[in-house]
Amino acid sequence: MMSFKRMWALFVARNFEFIRDRAGFGWNILFPFLIVAGFGVIFSSDTRSEYKLGVFPVKETRMVVKELKIPEKLKAYDYIKIVPFETHDEAINKLLHHKIDILLENKGPELKYWISDSSPKGYVLEKVVKESIIPEEFFVSRVIKQQIQGEQIRYIDWLFPGILGMNIMFSSLFGVGYVIVRYRRSGVLKRLKATPVTAFEYLTAQMISRVLILLSTSFLVWFGCDFFFSFQMQGAYFDAFVVFLAGTICLVSLGLIIACRGTNEELTNGIINFICWPMMFLAEVWFSVEGASSWVKNAAQALPLTHFLSAVRKIINDGATLSDVSPEITILLVMSLIFLSIGSLLFSWTK
């Protein structure tokens, strides 16, 4: 018969164990904060260069951008960083290794340049370099520029939910899957088997404990980062909380599948990484998969983190409500039920 008293004792014990592990507790808070802080410094600075344009012969200590003999437009672009080189050989070596995107000779008036055929950025920057020698009047009657309406979303505002989701994913799989496998190998679960505690009570206590800890640390990181970077919150905080709750439960439930069997910590570590890294890249933590192959998008839809981040970003960045993200929440809850069922059926105290 299920006992809430036993579940409460296991829940409290797991929480105390996590809090006493100061390194693990601190890292769960510090890691996402450091990533967001790093991106905040990068994208809040004036040097937001996406392309690197090499120029030679120029001495780095004596480079004055205004005095370079290259088209004036190239000197004024915000997203182009000019990198000086003293010799042609040094510059070509950097170009071959994709450390710069294009190379210009600082002689004039003839514009002489080098690019790498295997560099996508070099291809784009070549078009920019050619455009820079065309007078602005040429475009007046041929090109019509339109400004987008509405409040623009900063990259860091788009990135932040992905960082939190990634942290929850790693903490769920390692904090539940890896830890329980370690307990099984050290004999802790074997001793628990001799008590009245059932597998359902143990797994439920582990799941609730991990969900509570992850939600607490995530929102602590959220409000801490918001204090420094003033994130734009378009939706309701309660709606975001509901999505975070559903997403965290789903990811912790996935961790229970990993924890249900096994005594080899090295193998478990490999399995977790095998699951985490594809999920991190396909679920749009760092960048969008828009424009990718259809099979990539279809594969991404099978991952819980994809639906988690999709719902969170709709609320935070677009101001969506719970009804707008109900399909994602439903998918997360269904996945949670499936993961929990599999984990409970396959769980073993000793094997």
| Cα distances (angstroms) measured from residue 343 to each of 107, 153, 222 | 69, 40, 31
- Record the pTM: 0.73
| Cα distances (angstroms) measured from residue 33 to each of 41, 219, 220, 230, 316 | 12, 11, 10, 14, 18
In tens, the pLDDT along 47-84 reads: 455 789 999 988 877 788 888 888 888 888 878 889 99
Write b or e for each residue in 324-348: b if 16 or more Cβ atoms lie within 10 A of its Cβ, otherwise e: ebeebbebbeebbeebbeebbeebe
Quick one: 86 and 218 in the same domain?
Answer: no
Quick one: 93 and 202 in the same domain?
Answer: no
Per the CB < 8 A criterion, the answer to whether 335 and 250 are in contact is yes
Q: Does residue 183 form part of some domain?
A: yes
Quick one: 181 and 64 in the same domain?
Answer: no
Quick one: 26 and 157 in the same domain?
Answer: yes
336/89 Cα distance (integer angstroms): 58
Higher-confidence residue of 16 and 57: namely 57
Quick one: 183 and 267 in the same domain?
Answer: yes
Among candidate residues 140, 175, 198, the one where a domain is terminated: 140
| Cα distances (angstroms) measured from residue 134 to each of 101, 131, 138 | 21, 5, 7
Q: Does residue 146 form part of some domain?
A: no
In tens, the pLDDT along 135-180 reads: 877 887 788 877 766 666 777 788 888 888 888 888 888 877 777 8
Give the chain as a 3 state SS string. CCCHHHHHHHHHHHHHHHHHCHHHHHHHHHHHHHHHHHHHHHHHCCCCCCEEEEEECCCHHHCCHHHCCCCHHHHHCCCEEEEECCCHHHHHHHHHCCCCCEEEECCCCCCCEEECCCCHHHHHHHHHHHHCCCCCHHHHCCCCCCCCCCCCCCHHHHHHHHHHHHHHHHHHHHHHHHHHHHHHHHCHHHHHHCCCCCHHHHHHHHHHHHHHHHHHHHHHHHHHHHHHHCCCCCCCHHHHHHHHHHHHHHHHHHHHHHHCCCCCHHHHHHHHHHHHHHHHHHCCCCCCCCCCCHHHHHHHHCCHHHHHHHHHHHHHHHCCCCCCCHHHHHHHHHHHHHHHHHHHHHCCCCC
| Domain CATH code at residue 121 | 3.40.190
Q: Which amino acid is at 74?
A: L
84/67 Cα distance (integer angstroms): 13
Q: Does residue 147 form part of some domain?
A: no
Quick one: 177 and 251 in the same domain?
Answer: yes
Is 70 exceeded by the pLDDT of residue 44? no
Q: Residue 304: its pLDDT value, please?
A: 93
Is 70 exceeded by the pLDDT of residue 307? yes
Q: Residue 46: its pLDDT value, please?
A: 47
pLDDT tier at 24, thresholds 50, 70, 90: low
Q: How many CB atoms lie within 10 A of CB 257?
A: 22
Q: Does residue 165 form part of some domain?
A: yes
Q: Is the dihedral of CA 208, 168, 346, 339 positive or negative?
A: positive
In tens, the pLDDT along 320-349 reads: 999 999 999 999 999 999 988 888 888 887
Quick one: 293 and 169 in the same domain?
Answer: yes
Look at the chain and report how many structural domains it folds into.
2
Among candidate residues 106, 140, 174, the one where a domain is terminated: 140
Quick one: 250 and 308 in the same domain?
Answer: yes
Quick one: 197 and 290 in the same domain?
Answer: yes
208/135 Cα distance (integer angstroms): 65
As a whole number, the mean pLDDT across the chain is: 83
Q: Which domain holds residue 27?
A: 4-43+152-346
Q: Does residue 145 form part of some domain?
A: no
Quick one: 159 and 179 in the same domain?
Answer: yes
Is 90 exceeded by the pLDDT of residue 291? no
154/317 Cα distance (integer angstroms): 9
Q: Does residue 70 form part of some domain?
A: yes
Quick one: 200 and 307 in the same domain?
Answer: yes
Residue length, the chain?
351
Q: Residue 47: its pLDDT value, please?
A: 47
Q: Does residue 292 form part of some domain?
A: yes
Of 35-39, 45-49, 50-54, 287-291, the least confident: 45-49
Among candidate residues 117, 140, 163, the one where a domain is terminated: 140
Quick one: 102 and 9 in the same domain?
Answer: no
Q: Does residue 225 form part of some domain?
A: yes
